Chain A
Amino acid sequence: MADPNETTGTTRRRFLVGAAGLAAGSVADARAESAKNLPPNVPDWTRQPGEGVGLRPYGNPSKYEKDVVRRTVPWLTATPESSVSFTPLHQLDGIITPNGLCFERHHGGIAEIDPADCRLMLHGLVDRPLVFTLNELKRLPRVNKIYFLECAANSGMEWRGAQLNGCQYTHGMVHCVEYTGVLLKVLLEQAGLKPSAKWIMAEGADAAAMNRSIPLSKALDDCIVAYRMNGEMLRPEQGYPVRLVVPGWEGNVWVKWLRRLKIGDQPWFTREETSKYTDLLESGKARKFTFVMDAKSVITSPSPQAPVKQKGFNVISGLAWSGRGKIRRVDVSLDGGRNWRTARIDGLVLEKACVRFYYEFDWNGEELLLQSRAMDETGYVQPSKDALRKIRGVNSIYHNNGIQTWAIKPDGEVENVEVG
Chain B
Amino acid sequence: MSKSAEIALGAALVAAFATSTMAQSKKESPRNYGIGHVATAEQMAGWDIDVRSDGQGAPAGSGSVKAGEKVYMDKCAACHGEFGESAGRWPQLAQGRGTLKSHDPVKTVGSYFPYLSSVFDYIRRSMPFGDAQSLGNDELYAVTAYVLYLNDVVDEKFVLSKETWGKVAMPNAAGFFDDDRETAEKAFWNSSPCMKDCRGPVRITGRAGAVDVTPDEATKRGVE
For residue B133, which residue of chain A has the nearest CB? A209
Determine whether the beta carbon of B198 is less than 8 Å from that of A340: yes
Binary A-proximity of B13-36 (CB < 8 A = 1, otherwise 0): 000000000000000001111011
For residue A11, which residue of chain B has the nearest CB? B218
Q: Complex: how many Å from CA A101 to CA B1?
A: 40
Binary A-proximity of B121-161 (CB < 8 A = 1, otherwise 0): 11001100110110000000000000000000000000000
Determine whether the beta carbon of A131 is less than 8 Å from that of B43: yes
Determine whether the beta carbon of B118 is less than 8 Å from that of A271: yes
Determine whether the beta carbon of B222 is less than 8 Å from that of A71: no
Binary A-proximity of B198-220 (CB < 8 A = 1, otherwise 0): 11001111111101011111111
**Which B172-224 residues sit within 8 Å CB-CB of chain A?**
175-181, 184-185, 187-191, 193-199, 202-209, 211, 213-224
Determine whether the beta carbon of A268 is less than 8 Å from that of B117: yes
Q: Which residues of B contact A115 (CB under 8 A)?
A: none
Known: A208-B126, A270-B121. A10 touches B33 (CB 8 A): no
Binary B-proximity of A262-303 (CB < 8 A = 1, otherwise 0): 101010111100110010101111111111101000000110
For residue B88, which residue of chain A has the nearest CB? A78
User: Is B101's CB within 8 Å of the partner chain A?
Assistant: yes
Determine whether the beta carbon of B105 is less than 8 Å from that of A280: yes
Q: Which residues of A contact B209 (CB under 8 A)?
A: 165, 415-416
Determine whether the beta carbon of A379 is less than 8 Å from that of B202: no
User: Is A23's CB within 8 Å of the partner chain B?
Assistant: no
Most buried by B among A78, A201, A369: A78
Known: A121-B43, A131-B43, A268-B52. A162 touches B207 (CB 8 A): yes
Determine which of B105, B119, B220 lies in contact with A307 in the assembled complex, contact meaning CB atoms within 8 Å. B220
Determine whether the beta carbon of A162 is less than 8 Å from that of B206: yes
Determine which of B44, B101, B194, B216 lies in contact with A129 in the assembled complex, contact meaning CB atoms within 8 Å. B44
Q: Which residues of A contact B196 (CB under 8 A)?
A: 339-340
Q: Min CB distance, A306 to chain B, in Å? A: 5
Binary B-proximity of A12-48 (CB < 8 A = 1, otherwise 0): 1001001000000000111000000000000000000
Determine whether the beta carbon of B222 is less than 8 Å from that of A391: no
Determine whether the beta carbon of A130 is less than 8 Å from that of B38: yes
Determine whether the beta carbon of B48 is less than 8 Å from that of A123: yes
Determine whether the beta carbon of A15 is less than 8 Å from that of B222: yes
Determine whether the beta carbon of A12 is less than 8 Å from that of B39: no
Determine whether the beta carbon of A417 is less than 8 Å from that of B204: yes
Determine whether the beta carbon of A189 is less than 8 Å from that of B88: no
Determine whether the beta carbon of A275 is less than 8 Å from that of B107: yes
Known: A10-B218, A29-B222. A407 touches B39 (CB 8 A): no
Determine whether the beta carbon of A305 is less than 8 Å from that of B208: no
Q: Which residues of A contact B194 (CB under 8 A)?
A: 340
Q: Which residues of A contact B199 (CB under 8 A)?
A: 337-338
Determine whether the beta carbon of B117 is less than 8 Å from that of A337: no
Q: Which residues of B contact A79 (CB under 8 A)?
A: 129
Q: Complex: how many Å from CA A288 to CA B28?
A: 36
Determine whether the beta carbon of A74 is less than 8 Å from that of B35: no
Determine whether the beta carbon of A305 is less than 8 Å from that of B217: yes
User: Is A365's CB within 8 Å of the partner chain B?
Assistant: no
Q: Which residues of B contact A203 (CB under 8 A)?
A: 47, 50, 125
Q: Which residues of B contact A340 (CB under 8 A)?
A: 193-196, 198
Determine whether the beta carbon of A165 is less than 8 Å from that of B217: yes
Most buried by B among A190, A308, A407: A190
User: Is B7's CB within 8 Å of the partner chain A?
Assistant: no
What are the 5 A-B residue pairs with the smallest beta carbon separation, nearest first? Answer: A336-B202, A418-B206, A271-B122, A189-B30, A309-B222
Interface pairs (12), CB distance under 8 Å = A75-B213, A82-B129, A107-B126, A165-B209, A166-B214, A211-B125, A260-B47, A266-B54, A269-B53, A288-B178, A301-B224, A317-B223
A→B interface (CB under 8 Å): 3, 5-6, 8, 10-12, 15, 18, 28-30, 67, 71-75, 77-79, 81-82, 91, 93, 107-108, 121-123, 128-132, 136, 139-140, 161-166, 169, 186, 189-190, 201, 203, 207-209, 211, 259-260, 262, 264, 266, 268-271, 274-275, 278, 280, 282-292, 294, 301-302, 304-309, 314-315, 317, 331, 335-341, 369, 373, 375, 378-383, 387, 391, 394-395, 407, 412, 415-420
B→A interface (CB under 8 Å): 30-33, 35-39, 43-44, 47-54, 88-91, 100-101, 103, 105, 107, 112-115, 117-119, 121-122, 125-126, 129-130, 132-133, 175-181, 184-185, 187-191, 193-199, 202-209, 211, 213-224
